[in-house]
Amino acid sequence: MALRKTKNSNNDNNSSEKKGISSFIIVFVIMLVVFLLGAGLAFGYFKFFAADKQGSQKESEKEIILSGMELGDIVVNLDGSDGHFLKTKIVIEYPKDKKIEEMVKEKKSHIIETVLVTLREKTIEEVSPPNATEKLKEELINSINNRLNEKVVKNIIFTQYIVQ
């Protein structure tokens, strides 16, 4: 009888070991499926959704191609100063379009006059600080576009900027 009990206890041990191994395999398979599902979702998001956002930004940047025109040397006496002046070279940028290019060429003298008048009204304090050029660019863009009655000028580049 002792032998039979031993056989039964061995069968119980084998069945409990099989249950332990099978439950381990089931847990492992579930974890593997969850991991693969998460990896697939992350891959899909970065492949399709994040790429669309970057692509739309690149397309909007590519849509507007700018052309430029140099206005030449501009030297003005600053307002309220004793002999202080501003010497600059300016390039205006506008969308590359035949109609706009023709209009800018025709109105070049009006654009230069607007720049001169705007710069003459500035004091030494308004043109000297390091961040003065950004404010000046915005003001010049607005003044030129108001003079042309259209929003033609998109950017201004100072290729030379000397204050004395």
Q: Give the CATH number for residue 121.
A: 3.30.479.30
Residue range 1-38, pLDDT digits in tens: 455 555 555 555 566 677 778 888 999 999 999 999 98
% of the chain beyond a pLDDT of 70: 82
Asked if pLDDT for residue 142 goes beyond 90, the answer is: yes
Q: Does residue 40 sit in the same domain as residue 6?
A: yes
> What per-residue confidence (pLDDT) applies to 51?
61
Radius of gyration of the chain (CA): 37
Q: Identify the domain boundary among 46, 63, 80.
A: 63
46-55: average pLDDT = 68
Q: Does residue 59 sit in the same domain as residue 71?
A: no
DSSP designation for 79: T
Q: Does residue 71 sit in the same domain as residue 98?
A: yes
Residue range 57-81, pLDDT digits in tens: 555 555 678 888 898 899 998 887 6
Q: Identify the domain boundary among 63, 78, 97.
A: 63
Q: Does residue 6 sit in the same domain as residue 52?
A: yes
Q: Which domain holds residue 147?
A: 66-163
Q: Does residue 86 sit in the same domain as residue 140?
A: yes
Q: Does residue 48 sit in the same domain as residue 89?
A: no
Residue range 77-119, pLDDT digits in tens: 888 767 888 899 999 999 988 898 999 899 999 999 999 999 9
CA angle 158, 161, 164 (to 5 degrees): 160
Instruction: Please list, in sequence order, all residues whose beta carbon lies within 8 angstroms of the beta carbon of residue 84, skipping any fewer than 6 positions away.
Output: 77, 78, 124, 163, 164
Q: Does residue 71 sit in the same domain as residue 116?
A: yes
Q: Identify the domain boundary among 30, 45, 63.
A: 63
- Our count of domains for the chain comes to 2
Q: Does residue 43 sit in the same domain as residue 79?
A: no
**Which residues, listed in sequence order, are joined to residue 75 by a DSSP beta bridge?**
87
Residue 130: helix, strand or coil by DSSP? coil
